[in-house]
Structure 1
């Protein structure tokens, strides 16, 4: 469980997931590359959720279960908004609201992730 509960592994999975999402959003709808990228992204959703749940379980040792729970819910909402943007754009429906919600939930989730004890403190002296 120590490997799955690694903050570095979780950050690597969601960073790759965000890059894949942006590539899938930029590619032409219906193209073969967009379909393949979207399917690989869905696999990374699973990796993100597994490592996030492992960090959530590990975070219970810090007596901050509610904040880690909110971060977990925020992460699930980010994944949901990413999927909604891609699916609705494929169907040629408006996606503006989902882009806005995606950035709001992503900001909240990243803020909590870096603020909580298992996150990185960028302002600390080296």
Structure 2
């Protein structure tokens, strides 16, 4: 298995696990351990996404992958904002909406790009 395929699978695995941890953490708002594990997965997502971004330079589509990278950072920041504000008993409606919008955008954009899996065809 080459580096590109294994990094793509590792990246997808990390964000799927992070999404599961996020939704569990949002339902169980008093769990500090889940939030700390989720922060570890944020770092893993950024590292594997950065590796894929560097590989994307071979495709000549650095700007497109850069936009996807920024959308991914926005998704991570909205996840953190939801959990942090929820823990402080502050309103989270706006951040849930932004999370949903950014998540849809990053998934659509990621699967549309050449290194993504062709689920949309």
Q: Report the TM range for the smaller structure's normalisation.
A: over 0.9
Return the structure number with greater helix share.
Answer: 2
Q: 2:33 aligns with which of 18, 32, 36?
A: 36
| Count of aligned positions | 120
- Residue equivalent to 2:76: 79
- Residue equivalent to 2:12: 11
Structure 1: distance between partners of 2:100 and 2:6: 25
In structure 2, the CA distance between the partners of 1:100 and 1:15, relative to structure 1 (3 Å rule), is: same
Gaps of 5+ in 2: none
Q: Does 1:97 align with 2:98?
A: no
Gaps of 5+ in 1: none
- Residue equivalent to 1:68: 65
| Alignment RMSD | 1.7
4+ long deviations beyond 4 Å: none
Structure 2: distance between partners of 1:66 and 1:108: 15
TM-score (norm 1): 0.90
Secondary structure of the residue that 1:119 maps to in structure 2?
Answer: coil
Cα distance, 1:2 vs. partner? 2.4
Q: How does 1:22-33 map to 2 (within 5 A)?
A: 22-27=23-28, 29-30=29-30
Cα distance, 1:123 vs. partner? 5.0
Structure 2: distance between partners of 1:37 and 1:53: 24
Q: 2:106 aligns with which of 104, 109, 118?
A: 109
